[in-house]
Structure 1
Amino acid sequence: MSTNTTLLREAFRPLARVFGDGMTADHTGSKFTCNEADEIALALYVTGHEDAAVTWLHGHADGEDWEDSHAHEYDQAKGDANRESPRTFDEDEIREYLLGQSGDYLKTLIAFAAA
C-alpha cells in the first residue's frame, strides 16, 4: 500500500466510524436517496473501509421500496405477492454490488496512489 492510499484510508477513518456504525446506519440510512447512500458507501469501500460501507448500505436498504436500487426486483415465485415491502440485499449481495459499482472509483484511487 502506498503512502498516498494509507493517508487516504486514514483520512476516511472518522467517516467510516460514523457511517459504519450500525445505529447511525439504521436510524439515518433510509433518509438518504439511493444515489447519496451509494456515494458514501463507495467512498468508504474504495478507501479500504469495506465493512463500514456494507453496514451503511444495509442500514439504508432497510427503507427500500420495490423500485429502489438495493432491493430485489419483484418476484412472485419467491413469495413477493404476499410481501408489503421488498426483499433487500443481504450483506454478501451488498459486497457484490459494491464491487460491481466501484470500478471508476478504483481507477481514480489507483491514479491517486501512483502520483
Structure 2
Amino acid sequence: MSGNSNDGSPSINRPNENENCQELVINTNLASPQASVIGNLNKGDILTIQTASDQGPIQAYDENGQLAGNIVSREQIRLLNCIIGGTEYEAEVLAIENGQCKVQIRAV
C-alpha cells in the first residue's frame, strides 16, 4: 500500500491534509455496550466521543461520564486521526433495541 506522503509511508495512519474532518459522519452500533448505561439512554440523547490514547480505543460516554460503549467502524482510523488532530465529535443515539445502541457520530 502506498500513500501520498513523500517519505513513502502508508497514508492509512496519517491524516490527509485534504481531509475534511467536519464532514465525517459515521452510523454504527456501539461495540461492547454497557447495559447499565444503555438502559438509561433514549433516542436523541447525545454521547461524548473520546479516545483513551492516540492509539484508541474510541469510546462513547453519556452525560454523566459513564462509558456507554466503544466505537468500531471501518472509518475508525479516520475518526481517530481527526480526533487527534483536534476535531471534537459527538454521537446521537438513533435507536436502542435488544441491547444494541445505534448511533450517528458527527463533528461538533
TM superposition score normalised by structure 1: 0.26
Higher RCO (Cα < 8 Å, 6 or more apart)? 2
What TM-score, normalized to structure 2? 0.27
The structure with the greater share of residues assigned to strand is 2
Higher helix share: 1
Bigger Cα Rg? 1
